[in-house]
Homo-oligomer: A and B are copies of this chain.
């Protein structure tokens, strides 16, 4: 793919400083970029002065002009967004073409939309509805009474249990399981009696779910993943959980049953949330945190148990100083003994 700087500046709504007829053919990181490449400076502070002279790229996209850079520049408001859009421009995604592979086994009761691509050895159950433009990669299994909205993509080896509703433009990566039974038992004597899990899972529009994720169905009602929420790999989401809109759930997070997470919450990697807890909107939970009671809104928390991050930082600093504090206590004890003896 070859583009002129003029074409690129227009595509990313940027202001070009330099010759508009020059061509670039690929995106490269700043240190690796060479003749013919376009590169990015996301934040002026990243750039040390002596580096400016060493840029070998043909063009740099950046948030404001830097005079020590002499190659053609494109100034944009949001270089990260420009980067994402140019990445797609130079490396367009090629989805499998529409068509149903002859080995796909699709129930006669299923309704399949227009321009759908269904791969080899896909299995689709009764009363399933697949929207227009959906792509299902090979070896994925979809149970009964499942709905998949328009333009959603299910990668290979995915399992969707019965009665799961998936919205539009949802992306589900490989080995993810949606709708497995919630983990619920009643102890009768020494035996754990299984509580049947009869609810559903609802994945709203524009959700992306990473690889190897497990999302359990509700006991009654629905486990819900809100619109625009993004979930990383190997995340566990228990039964009856409600996640709001535009949340970010990073890899290996564990969310116990009946948790409520409101809109715009970020939970960083390997954090855990105890059952029945509510995390209110705009809360950020740091990595490896253990959230054991309701928190938020508009708060950064960390630690085990989770506390306001500033408080946790103070406590962590004092823990680091414990040897010193212990030493001070020893000195004080000695002085106290001396003073008593006077």
A228 CA / B188 CA spacing, docked (Å): 12
Inter-chain contacts of A329 with B (CB < 8 A) = 325, 328-329, 332
Give the copy number.
3
Cβ-closest 3 pairs across A and B = A159-B174, A214-B233, A180-B211
Q: Is A234 an interface position by the 8 A CB rule?
A: yes
User: A8-16, A58-66, A67-75, A81-89: which one contacts chain B?
Assistant: A81-89
Inter-chain contacts of A175 with B (CB < 8 A) = 157, 159, 175-177, 212, 214
Q: What are 15 A-B pairs at a CB distance below 8 A? A: A87-B219, A93-B196, A175-B175, A175-B212, A177-B233, A180-B210, A183-B210, A191-B228, A212-B234, A214-B251, A252-B254, A252-B272, A254-B269, A336-B339, A339-B339
Query: Do B208 and A194 touch (CB < 8 A)?
Result: yes
Taking the closest CB of chain B, its distance from the CB of A218, in whole angstroms, is 10
Residue in B closest to A302 when the chains form the complex, CB atoms: B304
Contact of A180 among B93, B155, B326 (CB under 8 A): B155
Q: Is A256 an interface position by the 8 A CB rule?
A: yes
Query: Do B81 and A193 touch (CB < 8 A)?
Result: yes
Q: Is A49 an interface position by the 8 A CB rule?
A: no
Query: Do B123 and A123 touch (CB < 8 A)?
Result: no
Residue in B closest to A227 when the chains form the complex, CB atoms: B191
Inter-chain pairs besides A84-B194, A175-B214, A250-B256, 11 sampled, C-beta below 8 Å: A157-B157, A161-B174, A173-B181, A175-B177, A181-B208, A181-B210, A183-B210, A210-B214, A212-B213, A236-B252, A336-B336
Inter-chain contacts of A119 with B (CB < 8 A) = 123
As a 0/1 sequence over residues 150 to 181 of chain A, the CB contacts with chain B under 8 angstroms (1 = contact) are 00000111110100000000010111110011
